[in-house]
Amino acid sequence: MGNRVRAVVAGATGYSGRELIRLIAGHSGMELAGVFASRGGSSTPIVEIHPQLRGFQPGGADLSDLDSTICHPFDEEALARLKPAVIFLATPNEFSHEIMPSMLATGATVVDLSGSFRLRDASLYPAFYGFEHQATPLLEEAVYGMTELVRAQLPGAKLIANPGCYPTSIILPVRPLLEAGLVDESQPVISDSKSGVTGAGKTPTATTHFVEVSESFRAYNLLRHRHAPEIAQGLGLPGGTDRLVFSPHLLPINRGILSTIYLKLKAGTTRQSILDVWQERYAAAPLIRIFAGSQLPEIKFVAGLPFCDMGVVVDERSGQAIIVAAIDNLLKGAASQALQNANLALGFAEAEGLR
């Protein structure tokens, strides 16, 4: 137990924070040293905030069990005194941006689940995130943690920008095909993506409470969603968002994302060509599942699990490909990908704590 690394979760009151605590509690090499809210609030037992965590036994010595774990208001000095090896920030965008220098000053690896350090271009933050970025040198330092695509950059990394949920479901299946030269680059990448309501966070709004969501299905933030520049950046699209059509939708379910992605292929590209690229690229990726038969991914196959599922159909006459990808937005789209990144940064097996 003395060899375990100490982990802290900030932003523990939200859905992603809850999932992080649950995953760390089952990790053989981490101990949960402390949990914090974001700004404000009072010290509260974590099981009063998240009753789902009752009875979980964390691996560390500092917290005897989650039933007695207290979630404190965020305090930079108190967090630093815990001497964490890894800090997970499941905190709001501008808050993560504000506290990042002090978090890095602890010497810990910081995995930021917000969008504060995902974009390389600081000029995009006012339009898409609503604030001027004041830590632009850190944008270059941050490793964009799409784990399967940046595995070699993660060992020893100190600042990891965890990808967004929608981008994860799109970049993982599409980028290998672009890099392999299978896609007609004169045509846009089109993604029609659907998410469960937990993607909007825990605080209800006029458009996300039960009555507004139940028995309905709607598109939102068309042509202005903050994940659009992240997707274009992650795909390496020349012209950025000009080559991307991204249409997010809100599903009347709790969790999960399904992205239906439309690509025009170069002449002679077959379905097997795509499967071959995926299978080669992800041969050593324990959390990628390729649907090579007639069945396509569905949200129910990934709900509560850390996988990204991907499948494809191709009309070889027209060269049209339709990719279907599915993830759990709270896991592969947030908490489990954060732990996957931390595992590689700290020298653990990639899927430790995720099986």
* Both structure tokens of 286: 């324990």
Question: Does the active-site annotation cover 71?
Answer: no
* Both structure tokens of 143: 């490793």
Which pairing describes strands 143-144 and 44-45: parallel, antiparallel, or unpaired?
A: unpaired
* Other residues' Cβ atoms within 10 Å of the Cβ of residue 318: 9
Q: Are 332 and 307 in contact (CB under 8 A)?
A: yes
Q: Which residues contact 150 (CB under 8 A, 6 or more apart)?
A: 143, 144
Catalytic residue among 119, 165, 232, 312: 165
In the chain, beta strands by DSSP E: 5-10, 30-36, 44-45, 70-72, 86-89, 109-112, 143-144, 159-161, 189-195, 218-219, 244-250, 257-264, 288-291, 308-315, 320-327
At residue 297, what is the residue type? P
Q: Are 19 and 335 in contact (CB under 8 A)?
A: yes
Question: Which residue is associated with the tokens 């825990």?
Answer: 202
Give the span between the Cα atoms of 73 and 317, in whole angstroms.
59
SS3 content of the chain, % helix, strand, coil (to 5): 35, 20, 45
Give the span between the Cα atoms of 12 and 306, in whole angstroms.
19
Active-site residue numbers?
Answer: 165
